Amino acid sequence: MTLQSDAPAHLRDDVRTLVSQLSLDEKVSLLTGSTAWRLHALPTVGLRSLAMSDGPVGVRGLGEIEGETSALFPTPSAIGATWDPALAHEIGRAFGQEARGHGVDLVLAPQVNIQRTPLGGRHFECYSEDPLLTSLIGTSVVQGIQAQGVAGCVKHFIANDSETDRTNYVARVGEQALREVYLAPFEHAVETGGAWSVMAAYNGVDDGVEASPMTDHHRLVTGLLKGELGFDGVVVSDWMATRTTSGSANGGLDLIMPGPGGPWDEQLRDAVLAGDVAESVIDDKVARILTLARRVGALDEPEQDLGPEIDLADLIMTTAARATVLLKRSETPVWDSPAPGRIALIGPNAVRPHVLGGGSSTVHPLHVVSPEEGLRARFPAAEVVVRRGGDSRRNAPDLETTGVLTALYLDSDDLIFDTRIHDSWDGWLRDLPERTHSVTLLTEVELAEPGEHYLEVATVGGHRTVIDGVLVHEDDVPVGVEVILDSSINTPEGWGTTIVVDQPRRVLVESSHLVIHAGGYGTMIRAALRHRKPGTDAGAEIATAVAAARESDLTVVVVGTNEEVESEGWDRADLQLPGRQNDLVEAVLDVDPDAVIIVNAGAPVILPWLERAKTVLWAWFPGQEMGHSLAAILAGDLEPAGRLPWTLPAREDDSPAPGVQPDSDGSLHYEESIHVGYRQWERLGLTPAAPFGHGLGWTDWSYDTVGEPAWNDEGGLTVDVTITNTGARDGRETVQLYLEPPAGASVERPVRWLGAFASVSVEAGATTVITLVVPRRSFEAWDSASHHWTRVTGRYAARIGRSIRDLRLDAAVQVVPDERSSPFTTTLTTTQQLGDTQ
């Protein structure tokens, strides 16, 4: 067994010694989790239990402490929008600090899959549609996490870019696209970031040679990841993803989660004894886990300089602002206007902001600062009037108060063996007694307001629900882990009835539920109680919102998506804002053309009113400090310095985004090859609503000159660009360099692709020089015929500017086999400097 490692040689010798001391049973025990989030301990060799936690937007913890809270960070698409690897590193360091506080050794983050299509349900959990931006941001997060002595787990390896039938589909990806686009962020995280863990995805991949589930894929996991890239860490399965014993063990998987049980457990021991899996394969897996344990201090507690304590609230707020993209800017910015005496805060996401996407990335912060809280704190003298303007959610809201809820536990003979009283109800019962076959829930709901009330119970699996004496639905089909894997358990379908109330009355809800047996996730009941009150007509609410806008000095409209739209487990059907939000925006703009429109969404949505609005901000899912961040931006305290990490379509029919529905045979074809995201927009010559890299900020910029370039020691190109902040206030600029290929290139190339970027803060009126580093790989392509990287020679155009469509400096780069002798020329374009008031 040979391990490549950043650890010293004596550590690897020590690991080998430890492995040799273990019995086969002990070794096999380390390769499946002991619980949903922990590994087995081996006190005989000084190994404590390693702990894991979900982590794309915060470290949720282990679920072992009731009421455990965690810091909620901006989602990865927001981190990508900062275009700032240094800030991403600080976010990673904060994740590591949080993990230490929760007793977590390995954080299941970052997710470096490519935003192949805006229809992807987990689009918000990824950084960008571009492989270079994803690579640099993702690797920085890994390095930040691991600087705290906590492992980052880079996921999901590989081509796990949509959710429809995600545990079964086979991604059929061409060799060039696989290497240049989808592998690139993993390669960078391993070779540059030194990642300690990688997660094997649910889906299968057909790479042209082997078509296997990623937990079994020997060619990609053992041959490519561990062999060619030299990955010396642990490959862990996605939760409940592994279905085979020998196939996954020989394929290269090191650890199955969750546990106990699963396809390894005792079966793996038997496979070794039968000769189906060599014991040396087991030894390699154990050595990797012990190496991971040593790195995170689970074999000992090494002294580490973890750096100063991070002020999480401040970091989250400033990151949210740095990520916010100013899509359009009024000639008179809102921060440069007189202080408002009356603010109308309007929109469904103003009342109920969506600060994180749905699914496994969910964390529970101690408090979320709402837009209303933020505005009241920043503008204490202003009157803030809040109007929803219609409900954008399909499902009724959760019942605000349930009163006392009684849970009756029944065995398989339908005999009650336990009764428990709950003073509050969050919709879940977990870790049920072993003899539990079903649970009956009983509660009375007080309905006081006259009118039509709608009550429902939302659930999955077998159930029988009676509301106010009416049987509203029943189903005797049991469900299992599939409702977790498809995330339907998180936003379940509801069944209910309408109740007309003339005077206050109490309504009995009685709902019986079969236990869900979810493998390593344990046993559970899911029953969300929902209630839609009278008087929720969207048209009437829009009219009330318009009246508030008409009477205000400042109107702020917050629209966006929600947990029903953007979530793990399912893909989006379209790119539309849910409900009547577009009608709301149009109606408000009719009476207040200066209204500030804020989009609270992780992935692209169509904005038919974009041309009408004067100020539009894309705020992402910004985390727990959303209100403070937005208020600071509107007041001019912080600049919305983000740049789009993806392309915003103007019309859904224009979008070249590929679909997410596998064929009838379970195949998902990556027919666009290397032309992903903005590359396809450029290839087809389509005009988006806002291009990749777009973002205005609060100031203006001139692009002045390109300095003398130089080839660096790594074979890449270093280019100095001089820019000037021509505006009246300090600002932050992201300089972007795009490459266009030589004519007649021997290998297929995109029309234009991101070659380098860098961000810099500049005082008003000041000039600065920013250095761009174009990596060697930008001048290379994967040759599928010879199966290796080839340097694509010829004359490249280097286009420098503020976005892929706002290019202000042109240069030419001649790449020859001996790159150090290549000439370089530059010119200033005559392109109009677009975007100052767009």
Catalytic residue positions, numbered: 238
Contact 556, 574 (CB under 8 A): no
Cα separation, 613 vs 596, whole angstroms:
8
What is the number of helices (H) and of strands (E) in the chain? Answer: 19, 37
**Nearest Cα to 391, choosing from 530, 496, 488, 570?**
530
**514 dihedral zone (left: phi>0; alpha: psi -120 to 50; beta):** beta
Cα separation, 293 vs 106, whole angstroms:
10
- 3-state secondary structure (DSSP) of residue 19: helix
Structure tokens at 106: 């390995």
Say if residue 300 is exposed, middle or buried (CB neighbours under 10 Å; 0-12, 13-18, 19+): exposed
Contact 70, 61 (CB under 8 A): yes
Cα separation, 626 vs 630, whole angstroms:
6
Cα separation, 27 vs 18, whole angstroms:
10
Q: 308-316 contacts: CB < 8 A, separation 24 or more?
A: 309/97, 310/90, 310/93, 310/94, 310/97, 312/71, 312/94, 312/97, 312/98, 313/624, 313/625, 315/90, 315/91, 315/94, 316/71, 316/72, 316/73, 316/74, 316/623, 316/624, 316/625
Bond prior to 260 in cis (omega within 30° of 0): yes
Structure tokens at 199: 């997660």
Cα separation, 482 vs 634, whole angstroms:
44
Cα separation, 458 vs 439, whole angstroms:
15
**Nearest Cα to 31, choosing from 352, 283, 314?**
283
**Nearest Cα to 630, choosing from 663, 599, 661?**
599
How far, in Å, are 10, 383, 384, 657 from residue 380 at the CA level? 62, 8, 9, 45
Contact 507, 443 (CB under 8 A): no
Going by their DSSP bridges, the two strands 383-387 and 151-157 should be labelled as: unpaired
Phi, psi (degrees; rounded to nearest 5) at 688: -85, 170
**Nearest Cα to 621, choosing from 363, 393, 324, 359?**
324
Going by their DSSP bridges, the two strands 470-475 and 463-467 should be labelled as: antiparallel
- 3-state secondary structure (DSSP) of residue 372: helix
How far, in Å, are 210, 780, 782 from residue 788 at the CA level? 18, 10, 6
Cα separation, 79 vs 620, whole angstroms:
10
The total of other beta-carbon atoms located within 10 Å of residue 121's CB is 24
Dump strand ranges (E) for 502-588: 505-514, 516-517, 523-532, 554-560
Contact 670, 662 (CB under 8 A): no
The residues, any chain, with a CB within 8 Å of residue 549's CB and separated by 6 or more, are: 344, 346, 555, 557, 588, 591, 592, 595
Amino acid identity for residue 4 in this structure? Q
How far, in Å, are 376, 622, 632, 804, 838 from residue 635 at the CA level? 12, 18, 5, 30, 20
Amino acid identity for residue 230 in this structure? G
